[in-house]
Amino acid sequence: MFTQIIRQFLGLKGQSGEVPNPFKKGRDEEGNVVHVNDDFVPRSLPRLEQVGTKVKITAPSRELALTMLRKKLIRQGFSDVQIDQYIERENIIREESVHYPKIRYDMTVDLNKYYLAALKIAYEYGYHKFGELFYNDEIAQQIRMILFNASKGNFDYTYGKVRLLSSFITHSMEKEQGINCHMLSLHKDNANQLIVNIILFMTPGLSFSVCISNNALKYRIENEIITEIIPIKIN
């Protein structure tokens, strides 16, 4: 859902050609499902509740409410004639009200899977830049094993050198938020490790730092920082 919110904000379409609506389904305060269209107009699902002899119907129109009531009474053995007489005699719908629901959304972020996604991006970028030299790196082999197991549904293997990008770096990105691009940078840290910084959608919450080698010198990376901007295509 988090990624869909960003895609909606940036207007990024999916394979269907539509911009995703992360808020299309939520729940009201009573736990009932509420649908929201692309114009953010809520619609509660029609429902019928009976407590004793009283029936409460939630529906977008009086006509649908009567249809739901009719089906309920038919299942209880009433004939069409009896139902018509009952509705006419009792003025069955005595109270009508307009309901504006408060909608609740649940969003669970699995950081381990986000880290795996960042790990895969960093690995692919390392191979793209350095080819076989990186492929044979001890750390690359470890990352490859973790990604392979994850692709088979085994998430027991973890990698300790992937983390969220430091706030010092992400704070400087505040003015760039909303720009339709990703950014990758490659550099050597003070411990001679080769680091890939990944900034997705130019968003701090989707920014990661990944160590892809314990020996940056063999890649001839000195003090320079290699930075690439990847534009996001909007159909």
With a threshold of 0.85, does the pTM exceed it? no
* CA pair distance 24, 42, nearest whole angstrom: 9
Q: Supply the pLDDT for residue 97.
A: 61
State the distance between the two ends of the chain, measured CA to CA, in whole angstroms: 21
- Contacts (Cβ under 8 Å, ≥6 apart) of 107: 1, 2
Instruction: Tell me which residue of 235, 165, 152 sits closest to 202, measured CA to CA.
Output: 165
At 70-98, the pLDDT tens digits run 888 888 888 888 877 777 765 555 555 66
* CA pair distance 209, 169, nearest whole angstrom: 11
The per-residue pLDDT of the chain, averaged, comes to: 80
Q: Supply the pLDDT for residue 39.
A: 75
Residue range 122-136: mean pLDDT, rounded: 94
Provide the pLDDT confidence category of residue 134 given band limits of 50, 70 and 90. very high
Residue with tokens 């030299």: 133
> Which residues make beta-bridge pairs with 196?
186, 210
